[in-house]
Amino acid sequence: MKKLKVGLIGGGSWGTTVASLVARNTDISMWARSEDTVKEINKKHTNKKYLPGAVLPKNLVAHHDLESVVAGADVLVMGVPSNSFREVLKSLAPFLRPWVPVVSLTKGLERGTDLRMTEIVEAELPGHPVGVLTGPNLAREIMAGQAAASVISMDDEIIVKELQKVFNSGVFRVYTNNDVIGCELGGVLKNIIAIAVGMGIGLGAGDNTRSALITRGLAEVTRLGVALGGRAETFSGLTGMGDMLATCISSQSRNHHVGVELGKGRSIDEIIEAMVMVAEGVKSAPTVIKLADKYDIEMPIAHDVHEVIAGRLSAEQAFYGLLKRRVGAEIDPD
- What does pTM read for this prediction? 0.92
- Please check whether residue 109 is in contact with residue 181, taking contact to mean a CB–CB distance below 8 angstroms: no
Question: How buried is residue 112: exposed, middle or buried, by Cβ count under 10 Å (0-12/13-18/19+)?
Answer: exposed
Supply the pLDDT for residue 281: 85
Q: What percent of the chain has pLDDT over 90?
A: 90
Contact 218, 239 (CB under 8 A): no
Asked if 163 contacts 215 with a C-beta cutoff of 8 angstroms, the reply is: no
Pick the CATH number of 181-323 from 1.10.150.120, 2.40.110.10, 1.20.210.10, 1.10.1040.10: 1.10.1040.10
Q: How confident is the model at residue 91 (pLDDT cuts 50, 70, 90)?
A: very high
Q: What is the rounded distance in angstroms from the CA atom of residue 132 to the CA atom of residue 118?
A: 7
* Sequence spans of domains, the chain: 5-178, 181-323
Q: Is the pLDDT of residue 334 over 70?
A: no
Handedness of CA 277, 101, 148, 215 (dihedral sign): positive
DSSP symbol at 128: S
Average pLDDT of 188-198? Answer: 95
Cα separation, 101 vs 129, in Å, equals 5
Whole-number Cα distances in Å, 302 to 81, 88, 216, 276, 324: 21, 29, 11, 24, 16
Q: Looking at residue 322, what is its pLDDT? A: 73
Q: How confident is the model at residue 1 (pLDDT cuts 50, 70, 90)?
A: very low
On the question of pLDDT at 213 being above 60, the answer is yes
Closest listed residue to residue 332, CA positions, set 248, 249, 216: 216
Q: What is the pLDDT of residue 279?
A: 81
State mean pLDDT over 63-69. Answer: 96
User: What is the pLDDT at residue 331?
Assistant: 63
Could you report the per-residue pLDDT of 255-279, keeping only the tens digit for each? Answer: 999 999 999 999 999 999 898 777 8
10 Å Cβ neighbour count for 235? 28
pLDDT digits (tens, 9 = 90+) for 101-146: 999 999 999 999 999 999 999 999 999 999 999 999 999 999 999 9
80 or 322: which leads in pLDDT = 80
Could you report the per-residue pLDDT of 303-333, keeping only the tens digit for each? Answer: 999 999 999 999 999 887 776 665 555 666 5
CB 108 within 8 A of CB 82: yes
Q: What integer pLDDT is reported at residue 216 of this predicted model?
A: 93
Active-site residue numbers? 190
Instruction: Tell me if 234 sits within 8 A of 182, measured CB to CB.
Output: yes
pLDDT tens-digit readout, 284-305: 999 999 999 999 999 999 999 9
CATH 3.40.50.720 fits 5-178, yes or no: yes
